[in-house]
Structure 1
Amino acid sequence: MSRRVVCLRHGQTLWNVEKRFQGHSDIPLDETGVAQAARAASLLAALRPSMIVSSDLQRAFDTASALARVTGLSVSVDKDLRERGGGEWEGLTREQISTGWPREFADWEAPGGETVADVADRVSSAIRRWADRLDTDGLLVVASHGAALRLGIAKLMNLPQEIWPALGGLGNCSWSVLEEGRKGWRLMEHNAGTLPEPVHSDDSPEVTQE
């Protein structure tokens, strides 16, 4: 048996629906998001997770807490699992961003925000840190955010940065599964848990299906 990590994106928020950049803004789940978290919890509980860790932002923590209630596990919190910081873009819609910062929008680099490389480093390091606490056959559930998880997964798999956009975005309360092999982490499932649907997140437009 190998150690596994389930990377679970949080449920829907009002800002997701409005296509606003959330970043580090602490936006709660909406009614749909609460229902999504409950559904995901009922499915992921069947995997018998060993440990749950969450971003410190409410939307991720409440998603993790739904699984904790079903499994009886507690939720550990790690600030390094936060979403990519959006700087001056937080709270703005994609339309507002593309109009106000056309050059930065094309590169998806927010003024005052985090770079993709920095996010990939902090999220992948956090996942490794918690996975190292697992037994050989343990399962860790990481509740985090769309861009943060995609970038962290890409880094964990040692993919060259120029091909990170080839890894698509995660829908609300969808998840990806990583398994530790002899040559490192490998992706077993990606964006699982729902039928294909548009992805609304803080991630780059080129990796989401608008």
Structure 2
Amino acid sequence: MTASRMIIWRHGRTEWNATGLMQGQEDIPLDELGQLQAKTAARLIATYNPTSLYASDLSRTRQTAEALVEVSGLKINFEPRLREIHVGSWAGLSHDQLAEIDAEAVIKIKSGEDVRRSATGEDHREVADRVVQAYTEITESEPDGSIVVCAMHGLSGRLGIAAFLGLPEEHWNLLRGMDNCAWAILDRQPLGWRLTGYNLTGLTDVPDPVAPLDPKS
């Protein structure tokens, strides 16, 4: 058994997103705009006719997933491996505040270099490994032809997609971060999984949302 489509959906905006603070795995809820974003995006994602819904177990992803539950009736399956990168002692800091503590780390992060997020946090490879493990188990546990939605986070979603598709680590930064409540689409095709949509936010840029999938592809 293998799903035919996986939709990776970033959560709506939080107050910490709006103010530029590093969230990591801090349990920050959606702000008012984030709740509106989730409800709007959920109506669009429902047009794909998803058959199952998974989510990181943090508040902002749970609230985002609940918006899809309201319009689809799906049950949320919580998966901690979909959480955002753990930033350890950097949680709650802005980049300016971090620069006062570790200016070199900020320079490396802004240049796209992989940096462990504090001595108690994760690096990119650790995040990618756990997310790919989750993606693999999720897709292989679903019936042929199913359409899976994973409500998760910006950095972990991007790294997970890149690694799941087999991109070399030095090319993971070819994917930009997705906007709040945007989503990516991965389709299973004869030669393997392929990225068929990225950072999607509305019907004008949604590729073929209701077309039937070939369960054998």
Q: TM-score, normalised by structure 1?
A: 0.89
Aligned match of 1:171: 179
What pairs up with 1:121-132 in 2 under 5 angstroms? 121-132=129-140
Aligned match of 1:72: 73
CA contact 2:41–2:202 (8 Å) conserved in 1? no
Aligned match of 1:116: 124
User: Deviation of residue 79 (structure 1)?
Assistant: 0.5
Q: Check if 1:62 corresponds to 2:70.
A: no
Distance 1:142 1:104 in 2: 30
User: Deviation of residue 183 (structure 1)?
Assistant: 2.6
1:83-130 per-residue CA deviation (whole Å, 9 max, x = no partner) reads 000012110011111232111222332212101001001011101111
1:126-174 per-residue CA deviation (whole Å, 9 max, x = no partner) reads 0111111222211000000000000000001100000111111100000
Q: Which amino acid aligns with 2:49?
A: R
1:169-209 per-residue CA deviation (whole Å, 9 max, x = no partner) reads 100000000011233211000100159xxxxxxxxxxxxxx
Q: Check if 1:95 corresponds to 2:96.
A: yes
- Residues 1:194 and 1:113: Cα distance change in structure 2 (over 3 Å): farther
CA contact 2:158–2:177 (8 Å) conserved in 1? yes
Q: Which amino acid aligns with 1:8?
A: W
CA contact 1:85–1:113 (8 Å) conserved in 2? yes
Q: Check if 1:149 corresponds to 2:157.
A: yes
CA contact 1:82–1:148 (8 Å) conserved in 2? yes
Distance 2:133 2:75 in 1: 21
**SS across alignment from 1:121:** helix
Distance 2:85 2:47 in 1: 30
Q: Which amino acid aligns with 2:26?
A: S
**SS across alignment from 1:69:** helix
Larger Rg over CA atoms: 2
What pairs up with 1:176-195 in 2 under 5 angstroms? 176-193=184-201
**SS across alignment from 1:140:** strand
Aligned match of 1:44: 45
CA contact 1:3–1:179 (8 Å) conserved in 2? yes
Aligned match of 2:212: none
Distance 2:50 2:58 in 1: 21
User: Deviation of residue 35 (structure 1)?
Assistant: 0.3
TM-align CA RMSD: 1.5
Gaps of at least 5 residues in structure 1 are: 196-210
Aligned match of 2:206: none
Aligned match of 2:83: 82
Q: Which amino acid aligns with 1:181?
A: Q
Distance 1:43 1:158 in 2: 28
Aligned match of 2:34: 33
Aligned match of 2:211: none
| Structure 1, 27-36 or 89-98: larger mean CA deviation | 89-98
